[in-house]
Amino acid sequence: MATITKRGKHQWQAKVRRKGYPAQSKTFDRKIDAEQWARNNENKTDRGLIELAALSHAAQDCFLSGILGKGIPIPYRDDQGELVKELPGGKTERIMGAS
């Protein structure tokens, strides 16, 4: 769920928290930008497209160990740079709309 809070006179902070996923936050000059960023990140999280590269190794380990036991496919970039997820049986599926 996203939370938008006012920070000082001219800044807004968006926070997105989901169980089993790392918390994300960013500060903006306009409230509408904070709301759009929060919606976009919620959608990415719902589709499983969060970027693990920005997380520390400890956070990655914690995050991955939490979802691996649940059988949730983890998206990654293949040799051609396409975002894919691994399916049962070792097959991969391209994630549409990912950049």
Examine residue 13 and state whether it is found in any structural domain, yes or no: yes
Examine residue 19 and state whether it is found in any structural domain, yes or no: yes
Confidence tier at 57 by pLDDT (50, 70, 90): low
User: Which domain does 64 fall in, by range?
Assistant: 2-70
| pLDDT of the residue at 47 | 67
CA distance 98 to 95: 6
Examine residue 99 and state whether it is found in any structural domain, yes or no: no
**What does the pLDDT look like over 12-49, one tens digit per residue?**
999 988 777 778 899 999 999 999 999 988 887 766 66
Examine residue 92 and state whether it is found in any structural domain, yes or no: no
CA distance 38 to 42: 6
Total domains, the chain: 1
Residue 99 has pLDDT above 60, yes or no: no
**What does the pLDDT look like over 71-91, one tens digit per residue?**
667 777 778 878 888 777 777
Examine residue 26 and state whether it is found in any structural domain, yes or no: yes
Examine residue 76 and state whether it is found in any structural domain, yes or no: no
Examine residue 84 and state whether it is found in any structural domain, yes or no: no
| pLDDT of the residue at 32 | 95
| pLDDT of the residue at 91 | 78
Examine residue 79 and state whether it is found in any structural domain, yes or no: no
CA distance 81 to 99: 9
